[in-house]
Amino acid sequence: VDKINIPIHPQWGRYPGWHIEKNKENKIIGTNYISIDLKKTNIINGKKYEEKIEATNNDLQIVFDFPLACKDSSHIGLEVVLTRDSDGWSQVFYGQKSTSFSEQNSLKRYYLAGNTVMQFAFENNDLEKIRIDPTVKKESIKVDEIKIYCDRK
């Protein structure tokens, strides 16, 4: 296989119209990405201990500003590499600074325990902030990397 297309959010009833494309060396091609500095994220309902985040309740949130470099992209891919203690739901919210996060502007997926790569894709409707809820349980997680993929224009 020379390359493979991975739809980011297969829960949608239709093909999401955006995907991460990998070549035979398993490297992502055709997109630009921005690594989010984990030190510049805001952790809500959690405490950071060395490299891990301990959820203080079942609503751990990681919030950060949307990268300006992607402001002209029509669609956004979000990839979160992490280790989690248990299986469960993860959710990403996106929106403007002047509005609250809502279920309407969110995507939810189920991930297994252990090392996992969470992937989501959504339209860029003048986004200014992103919130990741990596777990809905009181547990410990280790976030290795957060990447934002900007589509081709």
Say which amino acid occupies 52.
Answer: K
pTM of the predicted protein model: 0.80
Q: pLDDT tens, 61-117?
A: 999 998 888 888 887 888 899 999 999 999 999 998 888 899 989 999 889 999 998
Question: Quick one: what percent of the chain has pLDDT higher than 70?
Answer: 77
> Given a cut of 90, is residue 1 above it in pLDDT?
no
* pLDDT on residue 37: 92
CA distances for 3 relative to 23, 26, 57, 80, 117, angstroms: 4, 8, 41, 22, 19
Q: pLDDT tens, 10-22?
A: 444 344 444 555 5
Query: Which pairs count as long-range contacts for 48-57, CB under 8 Å and 24+ apart, including other chains?
Result: 51/142, 52/140, 52/141, 52/142, 53/140, 53/141, 53/142, 53/143, 54/139, 54/140, 55/135, 55/137, 55/138, 55/139, 55/140, 55/141, 56/138, 57/138
